[in-house]
Chain A
Amino acid sequence: MRPMEGRPTDGELFSRAQRGNEDAYEEIVRRYQDIAYRIAYVITGSTADAEDAAQEGFVKAYRALGGFRAGAEPRPWLLRIVANEARNRARSSGRRHQLELRLAEGFRPGEAAPSPEAAAIAAEDRRVLLGLINQLGEEDRLVIASRYFLELSGEETAAALGIPVGTVKSRLSRSLARLRLRVEKEAHA
């Protein structure tokens, strides 16, 4: 729940949606469609599958609102449903998509303006690192993307991965270790 001034909290919206208020549910979807779609994209590696999974997940979540426990955190609950849908889709489609996360053109970090050469080197570093992440196995890239790129909490990461909260830390450290190996290899190539 992330209350903001002048607008209802997630919990309030969920209560209204549970009473059949479709406007409230539409607002919930607007709040979470970006993060849900991105999680689905990281899982499926396909924009089309991610779109289907996110849409289906939100519809299923609406039908399952009766089972949502008042007082629970709505965001991980929703993200878990969408992530499950994405995993099912990735499995049943039989296609393996290679995730292709890209860097925005002309991205400049907000810090002190570096020299054009330094900026070019930094941009190349990021491109290489992202390329290595794209090549990781689904499990590794999902946990890394969830924590660092989507900035999910531990509970939300667990929801996205479909694992218990207690195992997120160990999963992340294993995945980072594998990434470090690849970075090391790349540096010596």
Chain B
Amino acid sequence: MPEAAELEQRLADIAAAIDWPSTPPLAGRIRARIAARPARPWFQARWAVAAALALIVLAALLAYPPSRDAIASWINVHTTFNRQNVIPTPSPPPSGPLGERLGLGQPTTLAEAQSRLAWHIVVPASLGEPDEVYLQMPPAGPPQGEVTLVYSPRPGFKTSGQTGVAVLVTEAAGQPDAQFFGKIIGDGTTIEQVTVNGHPGYWISGRPHDFFFDDANGNVRDETLRLATNTLLIDDNGTVIRIEGDMTKSQALGIANSLS
């Protein structure tokens, strides 16, 4: 048997001696073919289509609050997804259920709402039982949920705009974020620190639209004030309560002091 090295040498010697068939004139023909049908534009390339579809899916997931929150939770981003509930201000004529119009969540009863919340709902004795109760749970609502008590007009309390509502009392776990009060003030709005039953509060008069508070997870939450009227904020020891309505400061404080 010949040595491997010897065989390899003989093979190498043959290389130069091989009579290869002559190469046909490929370059010209290939040029003609690619000129007749140029390279695919990017949108026909499979990878580009796949990438575009992935972006569309991602955008759709981020646009939809439940999946956006889930993604935020997976990637451990907790502070950058502020939500602003887009709700009509009092100007357009109301239509549809009140909770939907004002973005308050699902209609419920006090007892049922309480059964789903870890914190205690307070009710203003001066106004009595609310006419309607709404509950907004995450992901649309803040962590640990948000409850809204709706009061229709009654003696001494006017309707706010065209909402058909006189007073809204909204409660959520968290605390007012004074660092954003600068964003609330403006456009004829003033803010005044008050005390309600020993708890710090803020009387915001004018037409405030935005409201910021630190939710139960410590994230800043940006919400729209439903009635865009005078608002009393109360830092009720872990629960942030806001009382909105077309009313005076003493009326608001009267409601606040009757909360229990």
Name the CB-closest residue of B to A58: B30
A136 at the binding interface (Cβ < 8 Å): no
B29 at the binding interface (Cβ < 8 Å): yes
**A107 to B48, alpha carbons, bound, how many Å?**
53
Contacts of A169-189 to chain B: CB distance below 8 A: 176, 179-181, 183-184
> In angstroms, how far is the closest chain B Cβ from the Cβ of A56?
9
Query: Which residues from A are CB-within-8-Å of B34?
Result: 22, 25, 59, 62
Contacts of B34-80 to chain A: CB distance below 8 A: 34-35, 38-40, 42, 45, 47-48
Q: Is the CB of B17 within 8 A of A104?
A: yes
**A183 to B15, alpha carbons, bound, how many Å?**
18
Bin chain A's interface residue count.
35 or more
**A126 to B34, alpha carbons, bound, how many Å?**
42
> In angstroms, how far is the closest chain A Cβ from the Cβ of B38?
7
A105 at the binding interface (Cβ < 8 Å): yes
Bin chain B's interface residue count.
20 to 34
A109 at the binding interface (Cβ < 8 Å): yes
State which of A3-11, A30-38, A85-93, A156-164 sits at the interface with chain B: A30-38
> In angstroms, how far is the closest chain B Cβ from the Cβ of A141?
11
Q: Is the CB of B14 within 8 A of A26?
A: no
The verdict on A37 contacting B24 (CB below 8 Å), with A66-B39, A109-B13 known, is yes
Query: Which residues from A are CB-within-8-Å of B129?
Result: none
Among A29, A101, A149, contact of B31 (Cβ-Cβ < 8 Å): A29
> In angstroms, how far is the closest chain A Cβ from the Cβ of B45?
5
The verdict on A148 contacting B39 (CB below 8 Å), with A33-B26, A47-B21 known, is no
Contacts of A91-134 to chain B: CB distance below 8 A: 101-105, 107, 109, 125-126, 129-130
Q: Is the CB of A148 within 8 A of B15?
A: yes
> In angstroms, how far is the closest chain A Cβ from the Cβ of B120?
62
> In angstroms, how far is the closest chain A Cβ from the Cβ of B37?
8
Query: Which residues from B are CB-within-8-Å of A176?
Result: 4, 7-8
Q: Is the CB of A179 within 8 A of B1?
A: no
Main secondary structure of the interface of B (DSSP, over half): helix
The verdict on A26 contacting B39 (CB below 8 Å), with A67-B47, A125-B10 known, is no
Q: Is the CB of A63 within 8 A of B39?
A: yes
The contact sample of 12 A-B pairs, CB cut-off 8 A, is A22-B34, A37-B23, A51-B26, A54-B26, A66-B39, A66-B40, A101-B20, A104-B17, A126-B13, A130-B18, A180-B2, A180-B7
Chain B residues at the A interface, C-beta cutoff of 8 Å: 1-2, 4, 7-8, 10-21, 23-24, 26-27, 29-31, 33-35, 38-40, 42, 45, 47-48
Beyond A59-B30, A126-B17, list 19 extra A-B contacts (CB 8 Å).
Answer: A20-B39, A22-B31, A22-B35, A25-B30, A26-B27, A33-B23, A36-B26, A41-B20, A54-B26, A55-B30, A55-B33, A104-B19, A125-B10, A126-B10, A129-B11, A148-B12, A148-B14, A179-B7, A183-B1
Chain A residues at the B interface, C-beta cutoff of 8 Å: 20, 22, 25-26, 29-30, 33-34, 36-38, 41, 47, 50-51, 54-55, 58-59, 62-63, 65-67, 101-105, 107, 109, 125-126, 129-130, 144, 148-149, 151, 176, 179-181, 183-184
